[in-house]
Structures are given as C-alpha cells and as structure tokens.
Amino acid sequence: MPTDSELELEEDTQKGKYLTFSLGSEDYGLEIRFVTEIIKLQPITEIPEMPDYIKGIINLRGKIIPLMDVRLRFKKTEITYNDRTCVIVIDIDEVTIGLIVDSVSEVLSIPDEEIVLPPDLKKDSNRYISGIGKVGGDVKLLIDGMKLLSDDDALLVEKMGERG
C-alpha cells in the first residue's frame, strides 16, 4: 500500500501530462492519471436498451467493462471501426470504462499556463471540455473525465424512454 507521500509523488510525475487522441479532424487530450491502458478493439457484446454511445461490454482479461463511443458521446457522426480504432481504458472514481476513439496519438506535457478556458459559446456545448491546450501551433481539447462519465445524459434518455 503506497503511503501518502508516494501517492503525491506519483501524481506529481503525472501532472500536466495528457494522452492525446483524435476524433475526425480534432485532437483531444485526456489527463494521463485516468488512463490504465490502450487496447485494440475487441468483439463487443451489445447490451439492450442502452443509449447509442454505449456500444456494449467487452471482456478485458476476465473483467467486464463497458465501452463508450466518444464520437457518439460528442454527437458526431458514427464511422465504421478500422485498424486504427483504439480503446482507451480509463479508471475514474472506481469506474472502469473503455473509450472508443479514432486513433491514439501520443502523451504530451501541457503546462497549466498553456491551457486556456473554453469560450462560453453556448450554455451546454462545452460540457465535456475543461480547457484548451496549446501545443506548438496545434490545439488540443482537454476532456473533463468526470463529466464524460456523469450520467445526466443517461437520465435524460431514461426519461425519454419512459415517456415513449
């Protein structure tokens, strides 16, 4: 069991590091401390009555984890999966989930001063983005992991289901 100071140390080395991946033409970044591993897409078992962005469940070495298509979560168009399609397995608040993304790029250090808050365009549009990171000439959209998993959307789906 690591002591507090070890945990702090670990957090320190992971601070400011982001795993970047792409969805279509945009690049996204996800805090590295959430990421456990990156795997190839496996055969998915569909679960009935799930919102479209929950693709189903997979068997990750005996552990059963759900898969979320981040494209659909962000209300982008669906594409057929190909060789470059990856699953980023993340662990947030004891919830393990796999994120299906177009492709994984690299791990980048983005210092806090290079991150700006997203513009407040519409009230709802930036729900999943916690900041915008500037790396060289590129822009990475930094994802708020917690919000990605928060189930307000799901509740909505449920309500709609009840009505229908």
What residue ranges bind other proteins (CB under 8 A)? 1, 3, 43, 45-51, 54, 57-59, 61-66, 95-97, 149, 151, 154, 157-158, 161
Tell me the closest approach of the beta carbon of residue 157 to other proteins, in angstroms: 7
Q: What is the b/e burial string over 57-78, where b = at least 16 CB atoms within 10 angstroms of the residue's CB?
A: bbebeeeebbbbbbbbbbeeee
Give the nearest distance from C-beta 156 to other proteins in angstroms.
11
Nearest distance in Å: CB 118, other proteins = 26
**Closer of 137 and 164 to other proteins (Cβ):** 164
Q: In 3-state terms, what secondary structure has residue 13?
A: helix
Shortest approach of other proteins to residue 111 CB, angstroms? 32
CA distance 77 to 91: 26
Q: What is the dihedral of CA 12, 105, 36, 8, to 10 degrees?
A: 0
Nearer Cβ to other proteins, position 1 or 121?
Answer: 1
Tell the residue number behind the tokens 């456990």, with chain if given: 36
**With respect to other proteins, which residue has the nearer C-beta, 34 or 115?**
34
